[in-house]
């Protein structure tokens, strides 16, 4: 349901904006989310900060690529099931096409195209964009002292190596416990238990279907490729390193379709291209079965995300009316922002290591904070600077 604070969006508008984001959103999930917040909350007024944060928290609690699922949530919120398909598809398609082209060059020349100079200049900009978005989102998402403490604990645990999913669940539990201590605890409503139960069952059904069907699929390479990525998309939480472990087990150790070097190159391509990191599947699909394999792998790994968002999206507003779920979701939002802050810190250490990168970061952060310039222009400018640098 539309909020009176937000503006309408047509399907063509959704398609154009997400095609643009899918083409320019370098840097991984944190920067994707920062650019979506800038585009849809601040510039276009399509959704509120609260709606954005609720869907960010939910996306972090279900399997799949969180930034892509936030895109799907936004499309669903604005235009229903048609918007869900258009937003998610248009965010994925540009990256998938770029990765397919790189995979074709890789197969022909046996190496990745050189992109280090461009990445050298873009990464400091990415850090500045994330910091700007964190500042805006934190004003809405961390409104109380106890939420600030929950977020701080989440950041510490993540830095210590605790898995993101456990960090988020703990943040939600602590926030709900804080509500209980203040004497406002309500019993779990049926929709809350039903939502988690439905998501869990859907996830298990998808993974089981893929596993069982894979066992009886015979020798059809495309069928086996589809089922392998459907299973992975149904169970993977967390970062690209978690995805790497699943890909290693499935395609290197079990199916023997890839070498370790090819797998690492596939993950690298997912990181240096715009859009979702899960387009690593597109690269692997091309290596295994050409263009048809790229298409099949891409559809399979993203399909669970579409299904899980379609199930959970309509329930979020009703769950917000449950005090216990609302408190839990507030805690997960604080934990999600803490994880973004940790990513920004890690990217900063890896990306800002000399005077040139420090200057790029400082100039871009000042521009973002002082002037209303779209972050996409800064990324394009940084790419040009990177090409000119020796």
Domain spans, the chain: 190-310
How much is the pLDDT for 121?
A: 83
pLDDT tens digit sequence for 233-264: 887 765 555 677 678 888 988 888 988 878 87
pLDDT, averaged across the chain:
81
Most confident segment among 27-31, 269-273, 341-345: 341-345
Residue 190 burial by Cβ neighbours in a 10 Å radius (0-12, 13-18, 19+) = exposed
How does residue 210 score in pLDDT terms, banded at 50, 70 and 90?
low
- For residues 11-16, average pLDDT: 95
DSSP 315: G
Helices within 110-220 (DSSP H only): 116-141, 145-159, 164-181, 190-215
Q: Which of 343, 348, 380, 350 is nearest to 362 (CA)?
A: 348
Q: Is the pLDDT of residue 315 over 70?
A: yes
pTM beyond 0.85: the answer is no
Most confident segment among 11-15, 119-123, 366-370: 11-15
Distance separating alpha carbons of residues 34 and 64, to the nearest angstrom: 18
> Which range is least confidently modeled, 2-6, 36-40, 220-224, 369-373?
2-6
How much is the pLDDT for 328?
A: 83
- For residues 121-133, average pLDDT: 83
Q: Which of 166, 127, 111 is nearest to 341 (CA)?
A: 127
Q: What is the CA radius of gyration of the chain?
A: 21
Secondary structure of residue 142 in the 3-state scheme: coil
How much is the pLDDT for 213?
A: 53
How much is the pLDDT for 69?
A: 92
Distance separating alpha carbons of residues 349 and 386, to the nearest angstrom: 19
How much is the pLDDT for 158?
A: 84
Q: Is the pLDDT of residue 382 over 60?
A: yes
pLDDT tens digit sequence for 50-109: 899 999 888 887 878 888 999 999 999 999 999 999 999 999 999 999 999 989 988 877
Most confident segment among 55-69, 90-104, 136-150, 218-232: 90-104
């Amino acid at each position: 349901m539309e909020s009176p604070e937000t503006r309408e969006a047509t399907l063509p508008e959704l398609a154009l904006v997400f095609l643009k984001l899918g083409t320019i959103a370098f840097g991984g999930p944190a920067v994707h989310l920062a650019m979506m917040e800038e585009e849809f909350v601040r510039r276009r007024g399509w959704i509120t900060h609260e709606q954005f944060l609720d869907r960010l928290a939910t996306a972090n609690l279900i399997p799949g690529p969180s930034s892509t699922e936030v895109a799907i949530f936004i499309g669903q919120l604005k235009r229903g099931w048609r918007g869900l398909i258009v937003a998610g598809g248009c965010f994925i398609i540009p990256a998938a096409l770029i990765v397919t082209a790189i995979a074709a060059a890789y197969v022909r020349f046996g190496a990745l195209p050189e992109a280090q100079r461009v990445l050298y200049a873009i990464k400091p900009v990415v850090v500045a964009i994330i910091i700007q978005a964190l500042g805006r989102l934190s004003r809405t998402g961390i409104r109380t002292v106890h939420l600030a403490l929950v977020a701080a604990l989440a950041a510490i645990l993540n830095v210590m190596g605790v898995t993101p999913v456990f960090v988020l669940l703990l943040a939600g539990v602590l926030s709900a416990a804080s509500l209980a201590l203040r004497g406002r605890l309500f019993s779990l409503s049926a929709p809350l238990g039903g939502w988690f139960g439905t998501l869990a069952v859907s996830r298990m059904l998808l993974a089981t279907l893929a596993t069982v069907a894979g066992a009886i699929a015979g020798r059809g390479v495309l069928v086996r490729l589809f089922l392998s990525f459907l299973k992975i998309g149904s169970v993977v939480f967390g970062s690209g390193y978690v995805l790497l472990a699943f890909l290693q087990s499935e395609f290197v150790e079990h199916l023997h379709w890839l070498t370790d070097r090819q797998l690492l190159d596939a993950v690298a391509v997912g990181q240096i291209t715009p859009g979702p990191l899960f387009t690593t599947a597109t690269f692997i699909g091309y290596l295994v079965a050409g263009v048809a394999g790229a298409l099949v792998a891409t559809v399979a790994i993203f399909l669970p995300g579409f299904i899980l968002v379609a199930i959970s999206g309509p329930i979020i507003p009703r769950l917000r009316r449950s005090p216990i779920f609302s408190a839990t979701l507030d805690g997960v939002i604080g934990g999600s922002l803490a994880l973004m802050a940790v990513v920004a810190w890690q990217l900063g250490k890896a990306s800002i290591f000399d005077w040139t990168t420090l200057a790029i970061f400082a100039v871009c952060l000042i521009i973002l904070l002082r002037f209303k310039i779209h972050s996409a222009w800064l990324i394009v400018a940084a790419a040009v600077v990177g090409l000119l640098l020796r």
